[in-house]
Amino acid sequence: MKKIGQFFEQKKLDHKFKKAGEGHKLTDERPASSASSSNAGTSRPQTATRQISSEGAQMAGMAAVARSEPPKTESQQMKAIRREAQRQIEKEQAEKAVNIPTAASARTSSSQGSNDPDGFNDGSAPVSVGGVYYTCALSPERVQKSELDEHIRECILMHLAVDPIKASSMMVKTLNKDSEKVQVCINTIEKYISNVCAHPDEDKYCKIRLGNKAFQERVGSIEGAEEFLQALGFERKLLQQNGQEESYLVLQQEKRNNPEQLKALFDVLVNTQPVKPILDRDIKVFHPHNCVMRFNLPPEFYNLSTQEVEREQQLRAEEVEKNSILRTKAMREADLQKQLRRYRYALIRVRFPDGIILQGTFYARDKLSSLMQFVRECLVNDWQPFYLVTQTRQKLTEENSMLTELQIAPAAMLNFAWDESIAEDIASAQVQQTAILKPAIMKLIQPL
């Protein structure tokens, strides 16, 4: 039976082979007539003329095909949305029209409803602000954020010769980031002083071995702690201990007999506040310009690295899907907090009725009241009520709200307007208002 089956299979193959037509070599050129006749043999006969379908017939056919296809499920729709979002991300990366931080700020601008045709500046344009600058209470000099820690350290060291107790206390409170270790150090120094006050005549309570493990862990590892002990009256000395010389801090004799002074000096350490950096507003004033909506921010304005921002762009597709499903209040609040932590600073521009533009730098988590106070301090009539309006004509009134909550971080352009009731009173009194900003502020005016 097996052989019979093979025989019939071979017969079928032979029949198909003969039906295919005359054989030829691959190197031979096949005549066109042969090819056409072969095609005619293998294809279905066609009519000389083909009737063209009418437009109504075509639409009916498309409708029939649509009815025959199964409807898309929600998951298929989500997949389509994700694919579209991914295409948009790839398009943005390919165009490279803006750098990554600027792209984030451009999204913020679009969320405010900006109708500016130019949008945000591209990466080739100069940045809107040279960087983020700080000052401190010890010096009016402006420094960038990258130089801030070293600048504060230098300022404190310069005060060390003038007021060693105060300066060393600032070192302890400012130059050490671990607050728990700082508190352990302060408690240990308090114990040293208590022992001296209780036993002023006993040498063992008036000296500290620098090589002691407990001292090194609790006090020696804290920057400024030894300087504070020396300011209290301790001196470095080499003393004999078990036949070897070791370094000690030994309290001077005259300091031992004045316990009240020691306690008063220790209180300075307890009550000293760390030297906090002060964000410089970096005030700028510009002539009227139609590119006021363009922003190009440096990376310092963002809490995200380049890789994190790229990852954020990829998550936009997931965010589309997330917004399409129901979420609990806790989930929404968690997303809001994540959004608030995205930016460090906010560059705010305020456009006045005469077209003059005032610019300042703020923390992204600053309250609206800080922005209002900044604007008020620049006005000639600082007593006159005013308000700020976004590009979507939203009046900003919630002064306790953070700039991120108001969606004006990391950059925004706001319009200034006087309070209507007061403006009417001034107009009725025929009081002529000339300049809006103070002359000292107007001296800073420059082209945008």
Digit-coded pLDDT (tens) for 244-287: 889 999 999 889 888 899 999 999 999 999 999 999 999 999 99
Give the pLDDT confidence score for residue 27 in this predicted structure. 58
Mean pLDDT of all residues in the chain? Answer: 76
Contact criterion met (CB below 8 Å) for 342 and 297: no
Q: What percent of the chain clears pLDDT 90, i.e. is strictly above it?
A: 41
Separation between Cα atoms, residue 350 and residue 355, nearest integer Å? 9
Q: Which residues contact 268 (CB under 8 A, 6 or more apart)?
A: 165, 166, 169
pLDDT score of 174 more than 90: yes
State the helix-helix crossing angle for 74-95 and 306-314, rounded to 10 degrees.
140
State the Cα–Cα distance between residues 188 and 219, nearest whole angstrom. 7
Q: How far apart are CA 251 and CA 245, in angstroms?
A: 18
The string of DSSP letters for 83-131 reads HHHHHHHHHHHHH--S-HHHHHHHHHHHHTT---SS-S--TTSPPSSS-
d(CA 222, CA 176) in angstroms, rounded, equals 7
User: Tens of pLDDT along 31-40?
Assistant: 444 444 444 4
* pLDDT the model gives residue 358: 95
Categorize the per-residue pLDDT at 361 as very low, low, confident or very high, splitting at 50, 70 and 90: very high
* Amino acid identity, position 417: A
Q: Are strands 411-418 and 386-389 parallel, antiparallel or unpaired?
A: antiparallel
CATH code for the domain defined by 143-271: 1.20.58.2190
- Judge whether 143-271 and 284-446 match in fold: no
Query: For residue 25, what pLDDT band results from cuts at 50, 70 and 90?
Result: low
| pLDDT digit string, tens, across residues 281-317 | 999 999 987 776 666 666 667 665 556 556 555 655 5
Confidence of residue 379 (pLDDT cuts 50, 70, 90): very high
Measure CA 433 to chain center.
40
pLDDT digits (tens, 9 = 90+) for 226-246: 999 999 999 999 988 878 889
Secondary structure (3-state) at 358: strand
Which SS3 state, helix, strand or coil, does residue 191 take? helix
Q: What 3-state class would DSSP assign to 383?
A: coil
Q: Is the dihedral of CA 315, 320, 326, 332 positive or negative?
A: positive
Q: How far apart are CA 350 and CA 283, in angstroms?
A: 11
Crossing angle, helix 316-323 and helix 74-95, to 10 degrees? Answer: 150
What CATH number was assigned to the domain covering residues 284-446?
Answer: 3.10.20.90
pLDDT in tens, 87-139: 666 666 555 433 333 333 433 443 343 333 333 344 444 456 678 999 999 98
Domain range annotation of the chain = 143-271, 284-446
Q: Taking residues 137-152, report their average pLDDT.
A: 91
**pLDDT value, residue 242:** 79
Residue 196 has pLDDT above 90, yes or no: yes
DSSP E strand stretches across 289-356: 345-351
| 103: CB partners within 8 A, 6+ apart | 92, 309, 313
pLDDT band at 53 (very low <50, low <70, confident <90, very high): very low
Q: Cis link prior to 101 (omega < 30° from 0)?
A: no
Q: Are 64 and 53 in contact (CB under 8 A)?
A: no
Q: Which of 112, 100, 98, 92 is nearest to 409 (CA)?
A: 112
